[in-house]
Structure 1
Amino acid sequence: MLVASLRHTNPDFKGRVFVAEPQQNHRWDHDPRMGNHDVRASLETLGAEILPFENKVFGCGYPYGNKIEALQVLPEGEPFLFLDTDTLVVDDLSKVPFDFDRPTASMKRENTWPQQELYGPGYNQIWGSLYEKFGLDFESSLDTSYPDEYWRRYLYFNAGFFYFRCPKEFGERFLDYARLIRDEPPEELVCQEMKPWLDQVALPLVIHSFGGGRVPEVSDMLDHEVTCHYRVLPLLYARERDEVVRVLEEVLAPNKLKKVLKQYEPIRRMVYQKKGHKVREMFDRENLPRREQAMRNQIKRAKLWMR
């Protein structure tokens, strides 16, 4: 869906599209490669280059680590944009004012980490200990328009997109930071759960280390206008604007894609059987619940939740 939406909305796109595929090794208890040959063939027809990579640190114990280790196989020294596969491209990517020397990532996030423990360390202590661990300046990462100990004050991203001038340079540091946080965390993190948040804990440190940070002119466009990181289809139908739904259904309409994608139950039911519109009717896009979990619960009660 990601690659098909890119081709649909950016027909003149001149860049290369890579789909990184983890290979089976001792870090997996199953074969992580694409098992559906029709999907692989469709990706290749759409011009995607499928790149195999070996997991050296992560694997089935932390599959989110794929986005970190996959960077090793991208062309060194070439600017890159990483997008999660549960993303649609809905407008022209050339509108986005990328500065590949100043990285950033998605600001479409909630207050998911760290979890505040009674009598435990606060945001300043937890985040400060991480910046200190990697020799980074903590104070310059803060958004001082927010008060002390309020989560938005601290650099925190969703890892649905990020970019930089070189995937090898970024990936090596991302992997190093994530591994060290997992294996040798500061004592302030002793009560913190790192799954599934490890990538989002390491990412702001990596971005800050390369001179990046909050870049609203980029994140606003990628988070709200040019791409849509929907995560699961019921949430797309519940909360995204009409244009996103229109692009989704146009992209998936051709029979050659329909034959492949209808094998996947959430797409078959949400898109082709129109169950997504039942979800859409349940919510007012101008007055959505403040927490995503409330939307999830409402959809589940209606027996329309699937992923």
Structure 2
Amino acid sequence: MTAPARAQPLNVMIVGQAGRLQYEALLFALSLAHATPRDQVRLFVAEPQPGPLWSQNPRILDAEVRELLSAHGAIFLPFESRHFGQAYPYGNKIEALAALPEGEPFVFFDTDTLVLGDLASVPFDFARPGASLRREGTWPQIELYGPGYTAIWTSLYDRFGLDFESSLDTGWPEEHWRRYLYLNAGFFFYECPRRFGQRFLDYALEIRDDPPPELVCQSLDPWLDQIALPLVIHAFGGGRDALPEGLLDGAVTCHYRALPLLYAREADAVVQRLEEIAAPHRVRQVLKQYVPIRRMVYQGRGAKARALFDRDDLPRREQAIRNRLKREGLWMR
């Protein structure tokens, strides 16, 4: 199944800022340029601007990083941090949506993602939003005497006037986390960034500032975006089946989360794509400034991490992979 011919390029957004994210943004841009014809996509690198919610300038200040991003098709997209900023940087993905062109379909990706195939070939139905299903049951954390999954999620759906029952995957039993519409914010898409972003912002702020009583024992940091996102997806008529399986978080993209995890668990094709795009001399000179990339990609620690694991028999939980990498001195981010 392929996407129909596009009347205009697909708007793709990532967030870039000083530190780790600028190097991840560069890897994303390099991989996108390698896999997708440039005339089929417009890559927006959203940059938070200096302001009272940041103690330092959050913009990408490295001129070489900026030049390489531009050379590979990136369009810098400034936005103001009015609600989150340094206290909750995950909120960047929410606030940046207001800066994208209104009324034009978009796809957001976390910067710690590689593009493996032609993104323009993905058959998005932008009228039905979706998000990543590559997640574990990280929220909520059920307390012994506290409310369970049903009570917690029902309280949120009720707060925003949404139908809870239609969000459930009844193939899973009561109080199993997969029964509930819990999504990863590593990617999401919709037909209008302004409408989606405003709803995302409204829900996130209300959950943060006036949570239902059922959330009293629950941490909202760093989970706030992933608590609000499923509610937004459901409110706009989307859900788990918004995309065919095996494309995003599969053959077309890989949300690797951290380089040690990429080497430990991802397919050979992902490692090959990473090392291929990182090989050119000019790219290497820039990327090696970031210690995890220098050590994992260029100094061979990635190969050592890869040798620790059997990709056909990985630990069931990501934390077990992280713990082993830490014991071997190979965890870095």
What's the TM-score, normalizing by structure 2?
0.90
Counterpart among 41, 46, 54 of residue 15 in structure 1 = 41
Counterpart among 278, 283, 307 of residue 281 in structure 1 = 307
Residue 163 of structure 1 is matched in structure 2 by 189
What's the TM-score, normalizing by structure 1?
0.98
Alignment check: 8 A CA contact 1:101 1:165 kept? yes
Counterpart among 219, 222, 231 of residue 205 in structure 1 = 231
Residue 289 of structure 2 is matched in structure 1 by 263
- Aligned: 1:110 with 2:136: yes
- Pairwise mapping of residues 135-174 of structure 1 onto structure 2 (< 5 A)? 135-174=161-200
- Percent identity reads 64
- Aligned: 1:53 with 2:40: no
Alignment check: 8 A CA contact 2:45 2:74 kept? yes
Shift in Å, 1:229:
0.5
Shift in Å, 1:95:
3.3
1-structure distance, mates of 2:75, 2:271: 27
Report Cα offsets for 1:155-188 as digits up to 9, x if no partner. Answer: 0111000000000010000000000000010000
Give the secondary-structure state (helix, strand or coil) at the position aligned to 2:156. helix
- Pairwise mapping of residues 41-80 of structure 1 onto structure 2 (< 5 A)? 41-80=67-106
Shift in Å, 1:219:
5.2
1-structure distance, mates of 2:81, 2:121: 35
- Aligned: 1:290 with 2:281: no
Give the secondary-structure state (helix, strand or coil) at the position aligned to 2:86. coil
Give the secondary-structure state (helix, strand or coil) at the position aligned to 2:246. helix
- Aligned: 1:86 with 2:112: yes
After superposition, the Cα gap between the structure-2 partners of 1:13 and 1:284, relative to the gap in structure 1 and judged at 3 Å, is: farther
Give the secondary-structure state (helix, strand or coil) at the position aligned to 2:107. strand
Shift in Å, 1:54:
0.4
Give the secondary-structure state (helix, strand or coil) at the position aligned to 2:136. coil
Residue 220 of structure 1 is matched in structure 2 by 246
Report Cα offsets for 1:259-280 as digits up to 9, x if no partner. Answer: 1111111111111112101100
Give the secondary-structure state (helix, strand or coil) at the position aligned to 2:47. strand
Q: Letter of the aligned partner of 2:209 in structure 1?
A: D
- Aligned: 1:175 with 2:201: yes
Alignment check: 8 A CA contact 2:123 2:243 kept? yes
List gaps (5 residues or longer) in structure 1. none
Q: Letter of the aligned partner of 2:331 in structure 1?
A: W
1-structure distance, mates of 2:195, 2:282: 38
Give the secondary-structure state (helix, strand or coil) at the position aligned to 1:279. helix
2-structure distance, mates of 1:29, 1:240: 36
Alignment check: 8 A CA contact 1:21 1:53 kept? yes
Q: Letter of the aligned partner of 1:214 in structure 2?
A: R
Count residues in correspondence. Answer: 307
Alignment check: 8 A CA contact 1:105 1:163 kept? yes
- Pairwise mapping of residues 124-135 of structure 1 onto structure 2 (< 5 A)? 124-135=150-161
2-structure distance, mates of 1:125, 1:206: 19
